[in-house]
Amino acid sequence: MLTAADPLPFRPHRVLIAGVSGSGKTTFAQRVADALQLPRHELDALHHGAGWTPRPSFLDDVRAFAATERWVSEWQYRAKGTDDVLPPRAQLCVWLDYPDRIVRGRLWRRTLGRSILRRELWNGNREPNLWHLATKTAPEENVLRWQQKTLNVWRERMPQYEARFPHLTIVRFAHPREAERWLSRLPAG
C-alpha cells in the first residue's frame, strides 16, 4: 500500500476512490478525473432512481463503464455487486482514510446544507428534511446514522481487498492535506 509520499509507478487510466460517507469521494473523484483527463462515473447517480428507488439497470450501467479503458469512479455499493465489477478492472484505488472527526464534520455540513437548501441530487431526489434526519434511526434511512454504522468498514476490509486484488495499486491518505499534496503532483493531461 502506498502513501501520499510515494510516487505512482504508472499513469492510471481506471481509478477508484474509496472512503466512508463524508470523506469526499465524489469531489475527489472529479478532481482526479480532471487532472488525468478521464471520464468520471458517479455511482450515486447511476444507483438512485426517482423517489430514491434503486435503478434496475444499476449493475449493468456499472459493468458498461467498467469495461471501457478510461474512467474514475467512487468505490461503494459493495453489496450491490460492484466488488465483482470495479476492482478487477481498476488499476488504482485512492483510499480517503481520514480521521473520524473530519469525515463526521464534513458529512454533517454537507447533509445539513443539502437539506436546508433542498438542492436536487440525482434523478429528482433531495436530501430529507431536518425532521427526518432527527427522527429516522435506521441507517438505511439516515445518512448520518449510516456513516456511524460504517465508519470502520474500509479500515477492516482494505487489507482483504489488497490480498484479493493484488494487481490494484492502493494509495492511502490519512488526512486531506496528504490528498491535496498527492493531487498537486499528478501529471497533467
pTM recorded for the entire structure: 0.85
Confidence of residue 184 (pLDDT cuts 50, 70, 90): very high
pLDDT at 95 over 60: yes
Q: Is the pLDDT of residue 116 over 80?
A: no
Q: How far apart are CA 146 and CA 102, in angstroms?
A: 16
- Rg for the chain, CA atoms, rounded: 16
Q: Is pLDDT above 80 for 128?
A: no
Residue 139 has pLDDT above 60, yes or no: no
Dig out the grid coordinates for 180 from the structure: 491535496
Give the integer Cα–Cα distance in Å for 50 and 127: 13
Confidence of residue 137 (pLDDT cuts 50, 70, 90): low
Of 155 and 72, more confident: 72
CB distance 114 to 120 below 8 Å: no
Average pLDDT, integer, range 107-132? 70
Q: Is the pLDDT of residue 143 over 80?
A: no
Q: Given this model, what pLDDT does residue 140 score?
A: 64
% of the chain residues with pLDDT over 90:
52
Domain map (residue ranges) of the chain: 14-185
% of the chain at pLDDT higher than 70: 82
pLDDT beyond 60 at 44: yes
The pLDDT mean for the chain works out to: 86
Q: Confidence class of residue 133 from pLDDT cuts 50, 70 and 90?
A: low
Average pLDDT over residues 76-89: 88
Instruction: Give CATH for domain 14-185.
Output: 3.40.50.300
Q: What is the pLDDT of residue 119?
A: 76
pLDDT for 152: 74
Is residue 149 very low, low, confident or very high in pLDDT (cuts 50, 70, 90)? confident
